[in-house]
Structure formats: C-alpha cells, structure tokens
C-alpha cells in the first residue's frame, strides 16, 4: 500500500509540474529562436516522462478461497457414517447381548437400539447446535436449533454440513450405547430412556464442544482425533458412576453370570472392528492420506492389543480365551482412537501392546479394587482405554505425520492431554450422578427384585428368547 501511495504521489507531482512548466514556457518571450527550441525540447521531455510514469494500478485484494464441495470426500464420509452406525446397531448390540444371561439378552440389545432412536432426535433438535453452534468456550449457542440454516448447499469443509451433522450423530449414538454395558441386567428401561435423553444433551454435547466445536480444550491444543476423550472416557466414567448408583446385580459372586452366547459377542466385536474404520478413518473428514493412515494404525493397534491381551491372559489365567481376544481388539481400537491421525505405525503398535495389557488389568484388578459391578466392563475397556490413549497420544504424536502442527513441547502437550482427561472425568461423573439422582427420585432407576429375578426381557419388554 505504501508503494502504491508513493507511486500516486510521484505521478501527481510530475503531471502537475509538467502542466505548470508548459504554461510558463508558452507565455514567456523567446529572445532567440535557439532558446525557444531548447525550452520546447525540455517541455516535450518532461511531458514524455509524465506519460511514462503512470500510477501503479492498485492490486485487487486477494479473494478468500471459498470452500468447495469435494465429491470424493463426501462419498467417503457417507460410507463412514454408515460404518459408525453399524458399530452400534448391530455391532455393540451383539457384543453386549452375547455377554449377558439369556433372560436379559433382548433387554440388553434394546439399549443399543433405543439409543439410536432417542439420540437421533435429541441430536437434530438441540444436541448438534450445543456441540457445534457458535457459542462460548464451554457450550455452543442455539443458532442451529433444529438444524436451522443448514441448507443442502451449506458446507463444513469440503463436505455438506448436513452430512457432518449425521456423521457426528453416529458418534453420539455409540457413546450413549457404550454406557449400557455398565448397567446391564438391572436398570429400568424407562429410566434408561430418560437418562440417555438428558445425558446426550447435558454431558455429551458440551464435552464435544470443548474438544471439536471451538471450545476451550481444542483451543488449548488437546489432541483427540476421533473421540478418546469425547466418546470413550466420557462414556466409561458415566458407566462407572451409574454402576455405583444402581448397585450390584443380585447374586453377583454367588450365582453364575456366565455369558449365554459368546458367538454373538465375537460377531459383535468383529463388526465393531470393521466399523472402526469409519470411526477413525472418517474423522479425517476427507478421502485423503490422513484417512488412509488412520485406517492402517487402527488395524495395527487392534491387532497388537488382541495379541498382548491373549498373552497376558494366558500368563495370568492359564488359557487365552476367545472373549479375551475380542475384548483385547476392542481395547486396542479404543486406545488408538484419540491418536489415529497423529501417530506412525510404530506408535500404533506400541500403543496397542500397552493398551491390551492395561485394559486387561482394568477389567480384573482395578475392577475388584473399585468394587463396582461394571457388568460388561464399559469402564474397564472404554474408560481405562480412553485415558491410556489420550495420555499416550502426547508421547507418540509424530512430526512425520503431523508436520508443522506436531507438538514441540512434550511436557506441555502431556499436561494438555491430562487436563482434558481430568476435566472430562470430573464433568461426566458429576453430571451423570445428578441426572441419575433426579430420575431415581422421580421414577426410580433400578428394577424390583422380582423383576430382576424374572429377567429384563419379560419384566421390561414382555418377551423372551426361547
């Protein structure tokens, strides 16, 4: 701009001077023909110079590059959305359903199914705007209430915003469904529906905003690629609190609580593993190298954790179980989730090996120490795995993958990750307790002793598996 102003000033001076000098030359008396010729020549030279030095044209301000739709990115997120929904129905429903007693299988699977229904409505009405609307550092505003203003042309990056809405919806659905693993076989169905309706609005949406929606954790630099904090720590802690408030299942430690059909569980775990490609790979929000790398490290971490779990179980218990292998794979998937877009294959291998061992400890020694009847180990797998993954992300985040955006100060990044873990634990625990307490006062949260003996399939749904 300074150069432009100087050029304009110089041009004005030259043009103004040339006119004045030409007028003086024309009015002055020419004593000799030679003088007149000289003056005319000088005037001509000045005029020529003035014509030569023209004002520099002002450069047009660089137009901000508007986001444009990318059909490849859109196609990948459409696919990823379906994969993430597949993780809950039927993936998690089968995984949990196979691990309970036969009299509770329908009730347990119903938790995942109704989560898909309830959360879908809550999300489009108010959940999305609280998570991703314009707001404060702690909560989004109501500018996108009922998806207001989101047209078919509206974009979120290179994909339609309406597609981003449903992609994120599937994350909210599985987060809520994970909690049901801690309360299986003893919670009233109506109380569960009321709880998840309030929880996804009051707990999940705000924490999502903190990390992904422009909130304080994201601004502090917390790394959570696909939901280690938002999904797994959040749901695991909520499940642990719910398990404490409900109390232990009748006959725990005295009666057999063996899974009724591990075939369902293995099929469910397999669907979770496949669906996780959409969970982690889709979080790149594009069909690109980041998505491809996320798929590779997801596969590596799941495989490594399954192996380390089986080895640990063989050493501790004498046999490596099929349920252990399935649980180990899920543990590895959980651990790599916050780091999937930030670590190398070597980092994923290390995280998977560590995650398998730590999560095995989480569902055995830690579970006994906590004295909570976390029925299907939602906290031991998702809570513990999420915490481990969030912290290890600080150590394994790689410049090779992240480039200039990689953390340069390990201790600072470690603190930011721990800060996110602690904040999520505290907020999720307190709000979960409050929500369940209110529901307990109003309608009660636990089924009666007779209903629990009968089984939730008959007592809550009037059905049973023959």
Whether the per-residue pLDDT at 24 is higher than 50: the answer is no
- Structure pTM? 0.85
pLDDT digits (tens, 9 = 90+) for 48-93: 434 444 444 444 444 456 789 999 999 999 999 999 999 999 999 9
Whether the per-residue pLDDT at 347 is higher than 70: the answer is yes
* Range scoring the smallest mean pLDDT among 4-8, 296-300, 334-338, 385-389: 4-8
Mean pLDDT, rounded, for 407-425: 96
- Look at residue 286 in the predicted model and tell me its pLDDT: 96
Q: How far is CA 6 from the centre of its chain?
A: 52
Share the mean pLDDT of the chain: 88
CATH of 75-460, one of 1.50.10.100, 3.30.300.280, 1.10.3430.10, 3.40.50.300: 1.10.3430.10
Contact 360, 328 (CB under 8 A): yes
Contact 389, 336 (CB under 8 A): yes
Separation of alpha carbons 187 and 189, rounded Å: 6
Output 167 or 7, whichever has higher pLDDT.
Answer: 167
- Look at residue 256 in the predicted model and tell me its pLDDT: 87
- Look at residue 64 in the predicted model and tell me its pLDDT: 56
Separation of alpha carbons 39 and 240, rounded Å: 99
Separation of alpha carbons 465 and 455, rounded Å: 11
Domain segments of the chain as ranges: 2-52, 75-460
CA atoms within 13 A on the CB side of 310: 14
What is the three-state SS of the chain? CHHHHHHHHHHHHHHHHHHHHHHHHHHCCCCCHHHHHHHHHHHHHHHHHHHHCCCCCCCCCCCCCCCCCCHHHHHHHHHHHHHHHHHHHHHHHHHHHCCCCHHHHHHHHHHHHHHHHHHHHHHHHHHHHHHHCCECCCCECCCCHHHCCCCCCCEECCEEHHHHHHHHHHHHHHHHHHHCCCCCCCECHHHHHHHHHHHHHHHHHHHHHHHHCCCHHHHHCCCCCCCHHHHHHHHHHHHHHHHHHHCCCCCECCECCCCCCHHHHHHHHHHHHHHHHHHHHHHHCCCCHHHHHHHHHHHHHHHHHHHHHHHHHHHHHCCCCHHHHHHHHHHHHHHHHHHCCCCCHHHHHHHHHHHHHHHHHHHCHHHHHHCCCCCCCHHHHHHHHHHHHHHHHHHHCCHHHHHHHCCCCHHHHHHHHHHHHHHHHHHHHHHHHHHHHHHHHHCCCECCHHHHHHCHHHHHHCCCCC
pLDDT digits (tens, 9 = 90+) for 171-220: 999 999 999 999 999 999 999 999 999 999 999 999 999 999 999 999 99
Contact 247, 53 (CB under 8 A): no
Contact 325, 309 (CB under 8 A): yes
CA atoms within 13 A on the CB side of 304: 23
Beta bridge partners of 255: 252
pLDDT digits (tens, 9 = 90+) for 297-337: 999 999 999 999 999 999 999 999 999 999 999 999 999 99
Q: Tell whether the torsion through CA atoms of 90, 96, 102 and 105 is positive or negative.
A: negative
Mean pLDDT, rounded, for 344-351: 97
The CA distances from residue 225 to 26, 197, 211, 334, 429, in Å, are 79, 26, 10, 12, 23
pLDDT digits (tens, 9 = 90+) for 229-285: 999 999 999 999 999 999 999 989 898 889 999 999 999 999 999 999 999 999 999
pLDDT digits (tens, 9 = 90+) for 126-163: 999 999 999 999 999 999 999 999 999 999 999 999 99
Output 34 or 334, whichever has higher pLDDT.
Answer: 334
- Look at residue 216 in the predicted model and tell me its pLDDT: 96
């Amino acid at each position: 701009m300074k150069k432009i102003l100087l050029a304009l000033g110089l041009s004005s001076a030259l043009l103004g001077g040339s006119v004045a000098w030409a007028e003086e030359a024309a009015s002055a008396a020419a004593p000799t023909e030679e003088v007149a010729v000289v003056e005319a020549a000088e005037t001509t030279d000045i005029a020529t110079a003035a014509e030569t030095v023209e004002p520099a044209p002002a450069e047009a301000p660089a137009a901000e590059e508007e986001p444009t739709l990318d059909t490849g990115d859109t196609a990948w997120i459409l696919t990823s959305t379906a994969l993430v929904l597949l993780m809950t129905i039927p993936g998690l429903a089968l995984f949990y359903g196979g691990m309970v007693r036969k009299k509770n299988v329908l009730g347990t699977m119903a938790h995942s199914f109704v989560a898909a229904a309830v959360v879908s409505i809550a999300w489009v009405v108010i959940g999305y705007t609280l998570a991703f609307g314009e707001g404060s550092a702690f909560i989004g505003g109501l500018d996108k209430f009922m998806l207001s203003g989101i047209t078919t042309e509206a974009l979120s990056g290179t994909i339609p915003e309406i597609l981003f809405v449903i992609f994120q919806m599937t994350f909210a659905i599985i987060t809520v469904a994970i909690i049901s693993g801690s309360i299986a076989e003893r919670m009233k169905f109506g109380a569960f529906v009321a709880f998840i309706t309030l929880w996804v609005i009051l707990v999940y949406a705000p924490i999502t905003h903190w990390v992904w929606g422009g909130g304080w954790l994201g601004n502090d630099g917390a790394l959570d690629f696909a939901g280690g904090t938002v999904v797994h720590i959040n749901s695991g802690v909520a499940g642990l609190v719910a398990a404490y408030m409900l109390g232990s299942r009748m006959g725990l430690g005295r009666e057999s609580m063996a899974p009724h059909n591990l075939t369902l569980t293995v099929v469910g775990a397999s669907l979770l593993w496949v669906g996780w490609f959409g969970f982690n790979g889709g979080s790149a929000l594009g069909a690109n190298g980041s998505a491809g790398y996320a798929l590779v490290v997801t596969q590596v971490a799941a495989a490594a954790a399954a192996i380390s779990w089986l080895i640990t179980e063989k050493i501790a218990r004498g046999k490596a179980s099929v349920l252990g292998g399935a649980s180990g794979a899920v543990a590895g998937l959980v651990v790599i989730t916050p780091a999937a877009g930030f670590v190398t294959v070597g980092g994923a291998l290390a995280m998977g090996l560590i995650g398998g061992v730590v999560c095995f400890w989480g569902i055995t020694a830690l579970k006994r120490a906590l004295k909570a009847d976390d029925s299907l180990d939602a906290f031991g797998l998702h809570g513990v795995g999420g915490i481990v993954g969030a912290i290890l992300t600080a150590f394994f985040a790689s410049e090779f993958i992240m480039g200039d955006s990689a953390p340069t100060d390990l201790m600072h990044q470690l603190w930011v990750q721990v800060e996110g873990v602690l904040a999520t634990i505290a907020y999720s625990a307190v709000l979960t307790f409050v929500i369940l307490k209110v529901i307990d006062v109003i309608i009660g949260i636990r089924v009666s002793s007779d209903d629990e003996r009968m089984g939730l399939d008959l007592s809550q749904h009037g059905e049973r598996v023959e």
